[in-house]
Amino acid sequence: MTLRSHVNGNASVCNGARLMQMRCGGIYTKMRRTAKPKAAPAKKAKGKLYAMPEKLKEGTVLTDLAKGQWRIGPSIGIGGFGEIYAACRNGEKNYDAVVKCEPHANGPLFVEMHFYLRNAKQDDIKNFKQQHGLKSLGMPYILANGSADINGQKHRFIVMPRYGSDISKFYAQNGKRLPEATVYRLAIQMLDVYEFMHGTGYVHADLKAANILLGLGKGGGSQAYLVDFGLASHYVTGDFKPDPKKMHNGTIEYTSRDAHLGVATRRADLEILGYNIIEWLGVELPWIREKLLTVPLKVQKAKEAFMADVNAALKPLFPKGVPAPISDYMKYVSKLAHNEAPNYDKCRMFFLNALKQMKVVNSGDLDFKLTSQSSSINNNSPPAKKAETAAALGQRGKVKKEESLLINSSSEDEIISSDEEKDAKYTPRRKLAAAKASPASKSKPTRTTPTRKAAHKPVSASPKKREAPQASSPLRSSPLKRAKVESNATPKAQGANAKINFSPAISLRSRPGKTVINDDLTPQPRSNKTYEFNFELDVSMDANVIVNVKRKRKAQAGNTTPAGSNKTPSSHSATTPKGSSPATRINLRKVNGDEGTSSPALSSTRSPRTPAVTLRKYRR
Ligand SMILES: Nc1ncnc2c1ncn2[C@@H]1O[C@H](COP(=O)(O)OP(=O)(O)OP(=O)(O)O)[C@@H](O)[C@H]1O
């Protein structure tokens, strides 16, 4: 079906595969419709919290807040909840900008926009480069922003410079590895971006090959840009307080230990970079090799074990010897305190020294061609699988873009906290789907290959350091009630020990390779329909369900039953044991059935009402 939309008076047409939102088992997710031409209405359906943006037709003109006009070109990428278009100033021919457009209610673009507006002004970037003796910096910036009414739906858009291919394409083309020297150069460039960003009080939290784009145009190939600031948040400078609402945010393969606990820290960014560079060297990360990605808690544990003894963890990954910069860097990161400012110069030196030894200059185009020398690094070669041809990749990327992100209602479904506010303006992006496949078999779709333009040559790190300000007014700091899960351990120890673990049977779902955001920026409104079910029954979950999670204070011995509850055998079996830590209580209610009916007379034909199911909190 073809849908007509109107943007600033210009008729536009959208058709074909669109993303639509599905809600299932209390989880909001999206499903991409592929072949069926009979599309659902572009407007979000009643009860759906997310909507993908309306398709912008080529030639559409958007007017930004400063009255600048931007002509939309072809679509060049689809992110989790938005679409990226090439764009140019109206009247010009050079599509050297991109427009990222999302429904107004989507939180991440709001976060990204404000991050750019506040912290990544072109002057700030210029000053940073001057202060640090850098010819270029892989920090994007915003050119314009605005709102547009598209097909009756309010959208937000930002305009940014256009970059080239993302490096996941080269990684996949090379059979899942990058040349060693290029890995080190990328690490240095990303540390530069981190230093700039951390200097503004924010962390990125989602570095991965798919979010690193080469510059566009002549010389652009020497600088990599870190994009997608939808997860940017203020880092903590005080106590380490795990936040259940943000646990496991990021891309599961690379999520840091702190992010698994919902805490934004600078060391977490460095750790994420560490996992990436190890992988770029052709090594399969242990939690990927062991196929743990669908269970975030297992990934979290594996990473904790990994970082607890970096030497021992790296050895088997590099049987011919662990590259010095990798072990030095990972050891350094493992020793950082959660609120400690990293020594970026020191980190860059690990990689610069390695480049020196390899006699590779840290300038000129980044080389993604794998030679026998650059691929001879001592690793396990998990990607012993054949390198994929560019053509095959292009095909695969295409297929992936259209694949269904279908969720099933298994016991791994995410639990949505009932503590969430109802009056929030922005909707968090919960990209949760039943992506069971190993990420090893996945890669990002191939992007449009750029033509080259401006010349930049990066130079090594400079001596000047920029003081990171105190995190005072977090853009995404939660105004919401948070679970108190602090431990008494020291901040550093807390990073490793403080945890809330749900039952493995109710683990948070992850999406290998994809960013997952469980944030509280835009709490989910409650559904009108809730269902009650007995935990021990085989329940079909193909219905809208709200699962309210509440933690209780430590129950007194012999008084673990919620007052007035009709306990079922299942809830008895899950009662908090004497002396255990506060329990997690989950209420499951059904509204459009026999809500409030707990008559024993009905029990022969219906499930008994289960007012509360108490789960035990895991302790180490
Ligand atoms: N400035 C840019 N220039 C060229 N391509 C871009 C640019 N920004 C993004 N892209 C392309 O669009 C894709 C999606 O962009 P981005 O990651 O910012 O979107 P997202 O909705 O936040 O995605 P995600 O699902 O990774 O969170 C990128 O992988 C990249 O290929």
- Please report where in the chains the tokens 């959660």 appear, as a residue: 338
- DSSP state at residue 217: B
Q: Ligand 1 center to residue 59 CA distance, Å?
A: 21
* pLDDT tens for each residue of 241-289: 999 999 999 999 999 999 999 999 999 999 999 999 999 999 999 999 9
Mean pLDDT over each residue of the chain, to the nearest integer:
68
Q: What pLDDT sits at residue 376?
A: 52
Average pLDDT over residues 196-220: 96
- DSSP state at residue 134: -
Q: What pLDDT sits at residue 86?
A: 97
- Is residue 24 scored above 50 in pLDDT? no
Average pLDDT over residues 20-28: 28
Q: What pLDDT sits at residue 51?
A: 56
Q: In angstroms, rounded to a whole number, what is the distance separating the alpha carbons of residues 138 and 475? A: 22
With H, G, I as helix, E, B as strand and everything else as coil, classify residue 19: strand
For ligand 1, say whether the CB of 519 is within 6 Å of any of its atoms.
no
Q: How confident is the model at residue 518 (pLDDT cuts 50, 70, 90)?
A: low
Q: Annotate 414-432 with DSSP letters as a single string.
A: PPPBTT--S--SSB-----
Q: Ligand 1 center to residue 162 CA distance, Å?
A: 10
Whether 206 is catalytic is yes
Which of 32, 84, 101 to probe ligand 1 with, by most ligand atoms within 8 A of CB? 84
- Name every residue whose Cβ is closer than 8 Å to that of residue 468 and which is 6 or more positions away in sequence: 198, 199, 200, 201, 266, 341
Q: What pLDDT sits at residue 425?
A: 38
ipTM of predicted complex: 0.96
Q: In angstroms, rounded to a whole number, what is the distance separating the alpha carbons of residues 594 and 606? A: 10
Which residue is closest in CA terms to ligand 1's atom 20? 79
For ligand 1, say whether the CB of 213 is within 6 Å of any of its atoms.
yes
Q: What pLDDT sits at residue 166?
A: 96
* pLDDT tens for each residue of 564-583: 333 333 333 333 333 334 44
Residue 112 vs residue 383, higher pLDDT: 112
- Name every residue whose Cβ is closer than 8 Å to that of residue 72 and which is 6 or more positions away in sequence: 56, 57, 58, 59, 60, 61, 62, 85, 86, 87, 99
Average pLDDT over residues 77-90: 87
Q: In angstroms, rounded to a whole number, what is the distance separating the alpha carbons of residues 362 and 459? A: 7
**Which atom of ligand 1 has the smallest separation from the CA of 163?**
3
Q: How many Å is the Cα radius of gyration of the chain?
A: 25
Crossing angle of the two packed helices 266-280 and 180-199, in degrees rounded to 10: 170
Q: In angstroms, rounded to a whole number, what is the distance separating the alpha carbons of residues 337 and 271? A: 12
Q: Is the CB of residue 236 less than 8 Å from the CB of residue 264?
A: yes
Boundaries of CATH 1.10.510.10 in the chain? 3-379+394-494
Q: What pLDDT sits at residue 481?
A: 33
- Is residue 326 scored above 50 in pLDDT? yes
* pLDDT tens for each residue of 286-304: 999 999 999 999 999 999 9
Percent of the chain with pLDDT over 70: 52
Residue 100 assigned ligand-binding role: yes
What count of other Cβ atoms lies within 10 Å of the Cβ of residue 529?
Answer: 15
Q: How confident is the model at residue 515 (pLDDT cuts 50, 70, 90)?
A: confident
Q: What pLDDT sits at residue 295?
A: 96
Q: In angstroms, rounded to a whole number, what is the distance separating the alpha carbons of residues 88 and 302? A: 46
Q: Ligand 1 center to residue 204 CA distance, Å?
A: 14
Q: Is the CB of residue 485 less than 8 Å from the CB of residue 242?
A: yes
Q: What pLDDT sits at residue 25?
A: 27
For ligand 1, say whether the CB of 178 is within 6 Å of any of its atoms.
no
* pLDDT tens for each residue of 129-163: 999 999 999 999 999 999 999 988 999 999 999 99
Q: Ligand 1 center to residue 212 CA distance, Å?
A: 9
- DSSP state at residue 399: H
**Quick one: which H or E segment has residue 229?**
none
Task: Characterize the bridge pairing of strands 250-251 and 515-516.
Answer: antiparallel
For ligand 1, say whether the CB of 157 is within 6 Å of any of its atoms.
no
Q: Which amino acid is at 5?
A: S
- Name every residue whose Cβ is closer than 8 Å to that of residue 88 and which is 6 or more positions away in sequence: 70, 71, 73, 94, 95, 96, 97
* pLDDT tens for each residue of 436-474: 333 333 333 322 222 233 333 333 333 333 334 433 333
Q: Ligand 1 center to residue 173 CA distance, Å?
A: 19
**Which atom of ligand 1 has the smallest separation from the CA of 112?**
22
Which residue is closest in CA terms to ligand 1's atom 21? 79
For ligand 1, say whether the CB of 84 is within 6 Å of any of its atoms.
yes
Q: What pLDDT sits at residue 582?
A: 42
Q: How many residues does the chain have?
A: 620
Residue 27 vs residue 123, higher pLDDT: 123
For ligand 1, say whether the CB of 81 is within 6 Å of any of its atoms.
yes
Average pLDDT over residues 182-204: 98
3-379+394-494: CATH superfamily:
Transferase(Phosphotransferase) domain 1 (1.10.510.10)
Q: In angstroms, rounded to a whole number, what is the distance separating the alpha carbons of residues 200 and 215? A: 23
Q: How confident is the model at residue 374 (pLDDT cuts 50, 70, 90)?
A: low
Q: Ligand 1 center to residue 30 CA distance, Å?
A: 18
Residue 525 vs residue 331, higher pLDDT: 331
Residue 281 vs residue 415, higher pLDDT: 281
For ligand 1, say whether the CB of 314 is within 6 Å of any of its atoms.
no
Q: Which of 206, 269, 413, 520 is catalytic?
A: 206
Structure tokens at 180: 């060693």
CB-hemisphere CA count at 13 Å for 184?
30
542-559 burial string, b = 16+ CB within 10 Å, else e?
ebbbbbbbbbeeebeeee
- Is residue 432 scored above 50 in pLDDT? no
Q: In angstroms, rounded to a whole number, what is the distance separating the alpha carbons of residues 190 and 315? A: 25
User: What are 214's strand-pairing partners?
Assistant: 224
Structure tokens at 198: 């951390």
Q: Is the CB of residue 192 less than 8 Å from the CB of residue 347?
A: no
* pLDDT tens for each residue of 534-549: 444 334 444 444 445 4
- Is residue 533 scored above 70 in pLDDT? no
Of 259-273, 333-347, 482-496, the range with the lowest mean pLDDT is 482-496
Q: In angstroms, rounded to a whole number, what is the distance separating the alpha carbons of residues 281 and 277? A: 6
Q: How confident is the model at residue 514 (pLDDT cuts 50, 70, 90)?
A: confident
For ligand 1, say whether the CB of 83 is within 6 Å of any of its atoms.
no
* pLDDT tens for each residue of 377-402: 655 444 434 443 333 333 333 333 32
- Is residue 13 scored above 60 in pLDDT? no
